[in-house]
Amino acid sequence: MDIKVENFYFSYNDKSILENINLEFKRGNMYALLGRNGSGKTTLIKLILGLLKFKRGSITIEGKNSYDIPIKDLSRLIAYVPQNEEAIYGIKVIELVVMGRNPYLNLFDMPSCKEYELARKALENLGIEHLMQKSYSEISGGERQLVLIARALVQNTKFILMDEPISNLDIRNQHEVLEKIKNIARDFNIGIVLSIHDPNLAMRYCNQAILLKDGKVLHSGKTEEILCQQSLLQVYDMKFEVLNSKNGINFVSL
Q: Is 12 in the site for ligand ADP (CB under 6 A)?
A: yes
Closer Cβ to ligand ADP, 83 or 250, answer by number: 83
Q: Shortest gap between Cβ of 77 and ligand ADP (angstroms)? A: 22
Which value, in Å, is the radius of gyration of the alpha carbons in the chain?
A: 18
Site for ligand ADP in 235-254 (CB under 6 A): none
Closer Cβ to ligand ADP, 34 or 132, answer by number: 34
Q: Shortest gap between Cβ of 12 and ligand ADP (angstroms)? A: 4
DSSP string over the chain: -EEEEEEEEEEETTEEEEEEEEEEEETT-EEEEE--TTSSHHHHHHHHTTSS--SEEEEEETTEEGGGS-HHHHHHHEEEE-S---PPTT-BHHHHHHGGGGGGS-TTPPP-HHHHHHHHHHHHHTT-GGGTTSBGGGS-HHHHHHHHHHHHHHT--SEEEESSTTTTS-HHHHHHHHHHHHHHHHHTT-EEEEE-S-HHHHHHH-SEEEEEETTEEEEEEEHHHH-SHHHHHHHHSS--EEE--TTS--EEE-
Q: Shortest gap between Cβ of 196 and ligand ADP (angstroms)? A: 11
Closer Cβ to ligand ADP, 35 or 191, answer by number: 35
Site for ligand ADP in 20-59 (CB under 6 A): 35, 37-43
Q: Shortest gap between Cβ of 73 and ligand ADP (angstroms)? A: 26
Q: Shortest gap between Cβ of 41 and ligand ADP (angstroms)? A: 4
Size of the site for ligand ADP (CB under 6 A): 10
Q: At what angle do helices 171-187 and 141-154 cross, to 10 degrees?
A: 10
Closer Cβ to ligand ADP, 11 or 135, answer by number: 11
Closer Cβ to ligand ADP, 35 or 111, answer by number: 35
Closer Cβ to ligand ADP, 40 or 191, answer by number: 40
Q: Is 17 in the site for ligand ADP (CB under 6 A)?
A: yes
Q: Shortest gap between Cβ of 49 and ligand ADP (angstroms)? A: 13
Binding site for ligand ADP (CB under 6 A): 12, 17, 35, 37-43
